[in-house]
Structure 1
Amino acid sequence: MLAVISPSKTQDFSTPDIHDHTFTRQLDESKVLVNILKDKTQSELIKLMSISEKLATLNYGRFQDFSTPFNFKNSKQALLAFKGDVYTGIDVPNLSKKDLEFAQNHLRMLSGLYGVIRPLDLIAPYRLEMGTRLENPKGKNLYEFWGDKISKVLNEDEPEVIINLASNEYFKGIDQKALKAKIINIAFKEFKGDKYKIIGIYAKRARGLMVQYIIKNRIKNPQDLKAFSMEDYRFREDMSDSTTWVFTRG
């Protein structure tokens, strides 16, 4: 079983206390994208990414400074670098070495720049959302660039089931026809007004909480996820089917 999540635009590249690390498996593809982005002006980055001048300056510098091989001066393990609501839910600072070892085998992050990332893979700081319409040798956007490459790497990990805890933007990066594993989508809903609905900020944190639950409880069987009850969520058999499991609160 593999859980997949989205990356985070918020990142922390202070020197890590943990030195165990691996390297991303699609770095050649990353270099192709970085070389395209290195040729962009700051004004072009503002338009391409819909970001402020300040963020364009930051990311222009990141692309210009991008270099390999990765080391602890220019990169950091992905799970330790990403911040934001999902990663707050995972409670990364309190994961033990054994927790990280389990996560390395059962958690993947999807990235517009790096493709499939394992928790201990070193990454350099970046911003490149999967939905970015970046022209490249394969087409007009990153979905066309990645094609079935993300699915092929996930197939190498040989999961029987993939637990989808990623956003739609990132999960679309997986060519599901090329994927061998069964997919179970997870939806977190809040009771608002007179019905249950997905509320982005709560859903992001809940995805992280479920990842924490998977890691801390060493869950390998998807059926065990139905017992998830952190922060008052509960599995709703009556609202779920074989491909989408719904958890509600309120």
Structure 2
Amino acid sequence: MSTGIGEALRTARQDRGRSVEDVAQVLRTRSDYLRALEDERFEVFGGDIYAKGFLRNYAAELGLDPQPLLETYRREHGEEIGSTVLVSSGAATRPTPRNAPPPWIAWVLVAVVVLAGLAFIGTLGSGRAPQQASQDPASPPPAPVQTEDPDQAGDQDDAADAEPEPEPEPEPTFDGVEVLLALEESSWMRVTIDGSVVLEETVPAGETRAFGGDGADEVVVRFGNAGGVRAQVNGEEVDSLGARGQVVEVRFTADGAETA
């Protein structure tokens, strides 16, 4: 189900006469990520923080206000609210059991017992032994006539209601090493790809940056606030880069991340 986010991005890009590749080059990211945003395939990013970061960057580059799109994303992809227990006067409200009999049944049973007792006393007064009730169980009602096999009928109904399963999304492929950095807090960063410095600046909180790809062998990043940044390497989450405010240099390769 479309939320309108992808359509808004695609329309803004086309209105400005720009291609996905053009915007990807400016943002220094893969065009596949921008196409995923326009197709609303947010699962490609492997986490909300990365998806929202790319969404913010892409919208801003296209001249859109990112906030309404982010609000829509949070509304449509937010956490589900768990079930709650209703309480009244400090105690949990207990539902009435579904199988409890109605009160009038008890009165009917009392009347039956009284009438049976009176009948028994009457037989004693007349000198006749009471007749024993028949022990034969009541005959069961006739089984309903099956006009068709219920299993087959159910299968036919299921087949009629079943919808074709959607094609599975292809797994993302990586050419060399690719690093996604999501800034939970602002941090100064210096990024070096295969020996060439490509970035040296303070990146504000809320942004997501992608580095590497195109056959890159290694990406080395020096962080001024390692604890404020989350990272993925070729789609795999890195446990921790360091503590908040800690200066750390991390070397990323296709095999993972290690402190340089």
Q: Same fold (TM over 0.5)?
A: no
When you count helix as a share of all residues, which structure comes out higher?
A: 1
Q: Which has the higher contact order (CA 8 A, sep 6+)?
A: 1
TM value normalised by structure 1: 0.27
TM value normalised by structure 2: 0.26
